[in-house]
Structure formats: structure tokens, C-alpha cells
Amino acid sequence: MSSEPRKAQVLIVGSGAGGAVTALELAERGFDVLVLEEGARHGLDAYGGSPTEAMGSLYRRRGMTPILGRTPIGYVEGRCMGGSTEINSGFWHRTPPEILLRWKAQYDLADSTPEELRPHFEWAEGHVKAALSGTPWPKSTEVLARGIEAMGWSSQEVPRAATGCVNTNACASGCPVGAKQGMTRSLIPAAEDAGARFQTDCRVESLWREQGRVMGVSASIGREDGSREVVRIEAEHVFICAGPTETPALLRRSGIKSRIGDSLRIHPMLKVVARFGENIDAEKSVLPLLQVKEFWPEISLGGAFFTAGHLAMGLSENWPTLRGKMKDHEKMASYYVAVRGTAKGSVRPSILDKESCTIRYEIGEEDLINLSKGLGRLATLLLAAGAKEVYPSVYGVPAIDNPVDAARWLDSRLNRSALSLTTVHAFSTCPIGERADRCAADSFGRVHQYANLYVNDASILPDSPGVNPQGSIMALARRNAIHFAENEG
Ligand SMILES: Cc1cc2nc3c(=O)[nH]c(=O)nc-3n(C[C@H](O)[C@H](O)[C@H](O)COP(=O)(O)OP(=O)(O)OC[C@H]3O[C@@H](n4cnc5c(N)ncnc54)[C@H](O)[C@@H]3O)c2cc1C
């Protein structure tokens, strides 16, 4: 243990979407801000590498985090300076008005009408340069548009935090040209200019509490010689922004448990590969830019990241019959069905070691029905767009090659144990709102029974936003940081 305690007025754990917003807003308002980030800081030269390299340097547990349940779900999140924003696709949504009304009705979330949140969205959109692509659509988007038109469904091109995207198709490995505005390209430099300090390779292990206050944290910091030092860092105010799984795990490890980690929500996602009669060259372009809104909020359809490696994974559920299709990879692209998960999962610190947590989520009956209907609709759309065959990531469902077979899934139920699901959208493990019986923290993120402890990341979303979450996280995080500065700082 270091004999010299370090100090900060505002200590922030995590430098992702929530942490970077909090750091910038509070540093600009004159607070002494220290951000502790478990991962490393990388330059652009480390971005855009192979999936294996990227998973080693930018992802938690090298990209292998299971969500346990009768249907296991593969989950990934970032563990690096900038958090998951460094490896995400940059799709940008404001929280839909219907969702905000639900959050008011179910959680009594204060000050969260579209009008009240507008300045925070505008601020965030300015910082990450959220905009439509402005360049001709890549082929994988064009065919999706063709299918949507054939079906007559409503859709939208989704703005992205990636102006200047040059189709490197490397979002998931970190954008090597710096077009994608992850936090290291946008808010973190601004926060540093405003005086915020960032300490990387620093994992916060627990909070240190005394009578309703958090006095500081214990953190393990990497030394240059490869060893680690455990230090205590004192703070007047502590914001936990460690992401939807690590925030509740850290709080629970520290003995703070009330409504923490009990209400994990996710958007379960089923991947589907389509083989067309023409070259799509999906590997040479950004992922498809359109989302089908017709069945939202329960079901969303859109485009997924594609490489030959991802294709092999997509076909692996039925590999003996589909392996020969790999040779046609230039004619293929990946798409997804995502549902607004209706079940509630949990996050608990692992009993085996202090670095892990156990994440559980049981796919609900409604989710299964929506995944099945979504598969029926997506397969129908892709066939209408000209696909010769559609391969869902479902064991025992090898290929769909005609619309009648596709439509069968509108009324049949996928077998829960045959599904291969993934998700990159997790939230709501520390919901905010005035309903003390449902929420871990008040409407502005102050944890119940603690005078100076806040959560301000994906954990705070009261419930699933039904759309890509980064915009919602950043807007609420800024609103909360300003509320803190004006009322409690
Ligand atoms: C592959 C992928 C694609 C995605 N695509 C999109 C998209 O297109 N659009 C969208 O809106 N959303 C997308 N998302 C989701 C979005 O990126 C996340 O919802 C968002 O970044 C979560 O913000 P956060 O602040 O809660 O956590 P993060 O951004 O993950 O940041 C948490 C940070 O805390 C650090 N940390 C954790 N524990 C500790 C600890 N104990 N001590 C110190 N530091 C710690 C982590 O290392 C991490 O850097 C995607 C996510 C992924 C993984």
C-alpha cells in the first residue's frame, strides 16, 4: 500500500461514454477531476488490427464474456481508454419519446422529457459529430434498402459518430483513421484540456466508506516494471462509470447492494448471413447503415459487422452443411434481429476472483416470440432483396431459400436451446428515478443512502432504450453532471 494517499475532489471510475462526459462537464466547471481507467490508452497506430489483437488490447476478457442462462449469450464490452465507444459502430439515436414516457411512468424519472434532454443531446452530438454518412451507400446497405422497399416497411438511415468514415470496416478493432469519434477522439482530449487527469492501467477494486459517505477507493495501478501497486485514493465525490456490468460488480463488492445489479436489461441479438447472387464485398465496407423501424420497439432489424472470421462464426451452428458456403464470402453480408429484451437479469461479483463478475439473463417467452417473428421478417426481406439463401445462427436451421419457409417463423417458435445469441447493448443494472422501490439511485444518479456517491453510465438507464444506447447514456450523464455541479458540488 502506498504511504502517500492521492486525492481528488471528483473521482470518476471509467472513461467510456458516461465517464468521459462526466469528466469533461465537471472539469470545464472548475472541479478537480481524476479519472481512473482500468484499460490502457492507445494511439491510432494500435487501432484497426486483427480481431485477435484488438480483443487482446481493447476488450474485457479478450472479448469472451458469457451471459449465463438456458440460452447462453455472448457479450463484449471495451476495456481501454474510452471504453466501449472505441470499439462500437458509432450508431447514434436520441432516446425515443415513447421510451422516455415509459421511464416516467415506471420509474418516475424526473426532468427527462424530449425538450429537457434536447440540449444534452445537441451537446453530445456536437462533440461526437453525429451525422448521416453523406457518401454513396455501400452495397450491403443498398441491398437492405432494396428489401425494405420491396416489403414497404418504414426504416431510417441511422446517424453515426463517424463523419469522414472511409469504409475501413474496422469499427470493432478501433477506427485506424480516427473517423469514429470514440471518447479518445472527442471528449477525452477536451476534458484533458480543461484540466481533468486520467490514470490508466488502474483498476478500482473497492470503495472505502464511512457512515453514508464514500471516502475514496482502493485501486490497483500498474507500474512500469510490470508489477502492481495497491493505492488508496481519497475523494470528496465519487462517480462510478465503469459500465453496465462492472459498475454493479464494484458497488456490490464494496457492500453497496440495494437495487444494484438486480435489473440487467439487454437487447438480445440473432445474427443472420445472407448470400446474394452478386458481389457485396461487405468485408470492404462499413456495416449496413439502415435500420427497419416498422416493428420497433419490440423488434429491430439492421446490419451487422462482417469479416470472413465473423462469417465462419455465423455459419458455425450448422458448419457440417454450410462450411462449403465460405467460398462465396464476397457475395455475403450479415444482418441482425434485435429485440427489446423483456426479462431482467443480474450481475454479481464472482466468488472466484475479484476481477470477474457473473452475469445472468434468461430469455423471456416474449423475447423468443419476437426473435422468431424477427427472423421471419428479416429472412423475407433479404430474399425480397435478392438473397439466394439466408443462414440464421440457429442450430438445426441451416438455410432459408424461399419466402414461404421464411414466413413460417412468424408463427413458429425458435427452440431456445438451439439459439446462438449475442449482445453489445447492456444497461439498467443501477436504474435511476424517484421510485425508491425500483431504483438504485435518484433521478440524477445519486446512490440511495450515500451523500457523495453517483452512478453515471449505461447502468443508470431505467430500462431498455430499444435503440443503440450511447446517445441516451451521454445525454443523461451530462444532465446528471450539471445537476451535481449546480446542486451538490
Ligand atoms: C462492439 C460494440 C458495438 C456497439 N455499437 C454501438 C453503436 O453503434 N451505437 C451505440 O449507441 N452503442 C453501441 N454500443 C454500446 C455502447 O458503446 C455502450 O453502451 C456504451 O459505451 C456504454 O457506456 P459506459 O460508459 O456505460 O461503459 P463503457 O463505455 O464500456 O466504459 C466503461 C469503462 O470503465 C472501465 N472500467 C470498468 N471497471 C473498472 C474498474 N473497476 N476500474 C477502472 N475502470 C473500470 C472500462 O475499462 C471502460 O473503459 C456498442 C458496444 C460494443 C461493445
What are the extents of the domains in the chain? 7-61+75-90+93-129+174-261+427-488, 139-161+268-423
403 falls in which pLDDT band (50, 70, 90)? Answer: very high
Please give the Cα distance from 291 to 281 (Å, whole number).
20
Alpha-carbon dihedral of residues 31, 37, 40, 42, nearest 10 degrees? -40
Over residues 478-483, mean pLDDT: 98
For 187-204, the pLDDT digits (tens) are 999 999 999 999 999 999
Query: Is 42 among the catalytic positions?
Result: no
Residue type at 304?
Answer: A
Please give the Cα distance from 307 to 284 (Å, whole number).
9
Give residue 353's pLDDT.
Answer: 81
Please give the Cα distance from 389 to 78 (Å, whole number).
34
The cell 439502415 sits on which residue? Answer: 290
Please give the Cα distance from 97 to 101 (Å, whole number).
6
Contact of 8 with 75, CB cutoff 8 Å: no
Contact of 447 with 431, CB cutoff 8 Å: no
User: Which residues line the pocket of ligand 1, CB cutoff 6 A?
Assistant: 13-19, 36-39, 76-80, 83-85, 87-91, 172, 203-204, 241-244, 246, 250, 424-425, 457-458, 468-471, 473
For 76-86, the pLDDT digits (tens) are 999 999 999 99
Query: Alpha carbon 252 to chain centroid distance?
Result: 21
Roughly how many angstroms between the first and final C-alpha of the chain, as a whole number? 30
Give residue 422's pLDDT.
Answer: 97
Q: Where are the alpha helices (DSSP H) in 223-336?
A: 243-253, 308-315, 319-322
1 falls in which pLDDT band (50, 70, 90)? Answer: very low
User: 467, 399, 429, 482: which is closest to 264 by C-alpha?
Assistant: 429
Judge: domain 7-61+75-90+93-129+174-261+427-488, CATH 3.90.10.10. Answer: no
User: 35, 60, 426, 103: which is closest to 240 by C-alpha?
Assistant: 35
Give distance in angstroms: CA of 71 to centre of ligand 1.
23
C-alpha cell at 225: 516494471
Give distance in angstroms: CA of 86 to centre of ligand 1.
8
Give distance in angstroms: CA of 193 to centre of ligand 1.
23
CA 332-337-342 angle, 5° bins: 165
